[in-house]
Structure 1
């Protein structure tokens, strides 16, 4: 059970809710929400002119709205803004966004009724997941279109997933025993002000990225052993002289992962020094870890932030600001996406070396009876194609801006685009690492699997339990998919951790 208390949440907590864990509103948060609501109701009663409460939105900020039309104003905002397009976000992504938006409201600076927050919690706890198209947000004034699609379901409109079916929102609420809401002053605005869809996608990408980073260390160590790596490049003393945290963590992992191997060599035995794809694993993988750490801190701060406009301050003052702007997340998402590319790039280069008989001393393409058999040749093509696609996806979204709302909203972040691209890069990286996994184990078969380090042998045995060696040409798509599942599910990290201890 996760607390919906308006405080910052760890990535792990966001992921747990995304995957189905229930949430609860503590008494303290309930009191804060009710107090801020009383402020809004007082201002309405006093006929104060306040943006989004008694005025229109965006370019219409100077248009006064009659007190008789305040409910209509808020519902109009939701139905008019729900204009997303494209494929839908996954259920975990929408659950995470719903949780994050509810948590922002629970902070008590939004002026909504407690019943609205309780309705969002009911969606989460009773398994109603709004259908939200992926495209249409520019990431300022918040993720307006995606969050409007979430809000539609609260009103008994739109579409939702419930019980494994996509059904009208009204039907989903009825089946789940949730009453549709009628929005009051400010509530439509409060439901859509913020980049929680961006934060949701980014949170899940960070969680998968951290698993990929640990897996990359493991697979780099297995490939290194297949290529007779020289461990000197991972000595602790080297990393004290250039103390980047990420590089030090990776070097520590590699020392543990190759300890006890009978396949490593000393300088001068086979070669004087290794190519960069082995020698510089700590520096390259380590930089990715630092990007992940930065992105994690940004999302965790965002998860406990009030992002409305206007905000209800603790002293009852109502102020307009720009906390809804997605630039902090857009920059972090771009940084994360382009850094994850490095995991794929260096992995593909290690695969290339495994397949090159001059570099590896192994059969070309790791083929038995090469010529008749192509071996693993085409796996490198696929890895190269994915790496190239990653480079295209890595073009930053956050450098772009197109003014909206007739120039009133004249700088936007494109944060959701940045987060979606980072997610898609991570997906490609997982497949490239899976190709390295299959390739490294095939290479080890030409050496001697029994000479692997204990952690390397654990990784090898895990794959060989579901993917046999390639003795003659066969369909390998299934091999790669099975290897990929072992990586993204965390089974590879878990299996190796049982032997070596926690992978940093």
Structure 2
């Protein structure tokens, strides 16, 4: 932890913001004091020096992109320094054309924080008071309404970030608590004074990757909890199938030592420790004996489980390893100058470039959603095993309890849940199509190669939500299967998770609606309750590997 960062205070210097801090400021815990982000004094001084350089260069009446020239393809239109401030307000207004649903509150909070931190590096020619105004909105929880769609992920998140910039100048609408207010009214209530932008400052606010990266950081955090949920669901299924826990033996996974695979196998060993339902290869051999006489026999049980159980460490481990390598990428992005041009105070000159191109975030999110969707598919296949008597080792069809035998044919148990899981899994797999391949040329061929990272990050969020719903269905079905096997025979840690689920979802003793059950267990995954019940880390620290 940085010397100037405490649980209640995060000072931004443009170099040291952690992904964990982004999440905790974006999603403040309801019963804990809200952490506050402020500008570090050294960052304020760096920003001021950069703004002074921008002022001096502007006064020289030389063309500087977006300062004394038009934007994009209009770069050939130079204007006088006297008109430079007005240009910034026009920039904001002509990009207010976003469409689609408004971004959720946690994404907007993360965007405010990340944009402030990127500008805190002091390279963007923006005054510290403008950066502080971003933090004032975060502190007062005045959240501009920002449509999700409209960014190409190159030239920055121009359209969505314009809604943030408009709020700073007192325009637009914002969510304040459960109310939607004109920003000007929200400012009056909070005692916030709108800013009047100077040259380059509008461009500095909107020409960056903060909106994309906000989605990305939150999606990565949530994916870590999905990996934990998948491990717990696999332990449930392994016990429900009276499965072979030797598939998770340390020797096997040390022979192919991908760190994520090793971690998931170790977690499955921990979860299954003490189980009287799961078995081992040696116990299976003891039960079936050796082949005596003759050349052939039909074994009455499998010595290997199906791939969806046996290969779970190799599937969930990919997600764990993906999170490990994208963590440093996202950490770099939230601590980077991502606008254009940048001002070098040491050399006294501007630099024109393309740091607004969100290629790393896009690649990370396309990879993340593929790994996450594969986990959804894994869980869907596991569910298929425990509801089908051809594969479940004696469990009743669709997990319908035997007590309903007198009403055979009337109750269908988890048949509808399997259909729902299959449908949601298919949607997750479809949404995992890589968005970054769909670059387009736009804006009179000035933006002729774009990252599409915003779409990739939003998709990663969506795939995570869908996978959470599949995981919830799998966990509810796994809990039902353990009830039918006898939960007292389950491992202590899976019994603990079973008890948590049962405190929110009753045993299915007859056909009933189950959509509320799915939502309840999905919340247990997302808020970390499921991991805590299993004694697993509620989240893995992707910051640990960061540069």
Q: Report the TM-score when normalising by structure 1.
A: 0.97
* C-alpha contact (below 8 Å) 1:341/1:391 kept by paired residues: yes
Counterpart of 2:109?
Answer: 95
Deviations 1:417-470 (A, max 9, x none): 111111011001001000011101111111110011110100111111121211
Question: Does the alignment pair 1:476 with 2:514?
Answer: yes
Distance in 2, matches of 1:426 and 1:8, equals 27
Whole-angstrom CA distance in 2 between matches of 1:502 and 1:467: 21
Equivalent-residue separation in structure 2 for 1:62 and 1:501 (angstroms): 55
Q: What's 2:49 paired with? A: 35
Give the equivalent residue in structure 2 for 1:203. 217
1:142 and 2:180 matched: no
Quote the offset at 1:266 in angstroms.
2.5
Distance 1:236 1:313 in 2: 53
CA distance in 2, matches of 1:58, 1:74: 14
Write the distance in 2 (CA, Å) between the matches of 1:93 and 1:502. 21
Q: Does 1:364 pair with 2:397? A: yes
Q: How does 1:253-268 map to 2 (within 5 A)?
A: 253-267=267-281, 268=284
Matched residues in 2 for 1:100 and 1:326: separation? 14
Please report how far the alpha carbon of residue 503 of structure 1 lies from its aligned counterpart in structure 2 after TM superposition: 8.2
Of residues 310, 318, 342, the one that matches 2:350 is 318
Q: Which residue in 2 is equivalent to 1:116? A: 130
* Equivalent residues, number: 502
Q: In the alignment, which residue of structure 2 is the partner of 1:460?
A: 498
State the secondary structure of the residue aligned to 2:233: helix
Gaps of 5+ in 1: none
1:252 aligns with 2:266: yes
1:223 to 237, 240, 249: 237
Q: Does 1:10 align with 2:18?
A: yes
Give the match's secondary structure for 1:129: strand
Who is 2:4 aligned against?
none
Displacement of 1:400 in angstroms is: 0.9
Question: Which residue of 283, 308, 331 corresponds with 1:277?
Answer: 308
Q: Give me the whole-angstrom Cα distance separating, in 2, the residues matched to 1:126 and 1:478.
A: 33
Which residue is 1:347 aligned to? 379
Q: TM-score, normalised by structure 2?
A: 0.90
Contact residue 49 and residue 55 of structure 1 kept, 8 A:
yes
Q: Is the 8 A contact 1:285 1:343 kept in 2?
A: yes
Q: Write the deviation string for residues 295-322 of structure 1: whole angstroms up to 9, x where unpaired.
A: 2222111000001111112413211011
When structure 1 is superposed on structure 2, of 442-451 and 311-320 the one drifting more is 311-320
CA distance in 2 between partners of 1:481 and 1:179 (Å): 41
State the Cα deviation string for residues 39-58 of structure 1 (Å, max 9, x = none). Answer: 10111122222111111110
Divergent runs of 4+, >6 A: 500-504
3-state SS in 1 of match to 2:214? helix
The Cα shift of 1:168 comes to 1.1
Secondary structure, aligned partner of 2:153: coil
Q: 1:409 aligns with which of 447, 458, 462?
A: 447
The answer as to whether partners of 1:112 and 1:186 remain within 8 angstroms in 2 is yes
2:111 and 2:513 mapped to 1: Cα distance? 39
User: How far apart are the structure 2 equivalents of 1:7 and 1:334?
Assistant: 25
- The unaligned stretches of length 5 or more in structure 2 are 1-8, 29-34, 288-300, 541-547
Where 1:312 maps in the other structure, the secondary structure is strand
The alpha-carbon deviation at position 163 of structure 1 amounts to: 3.5
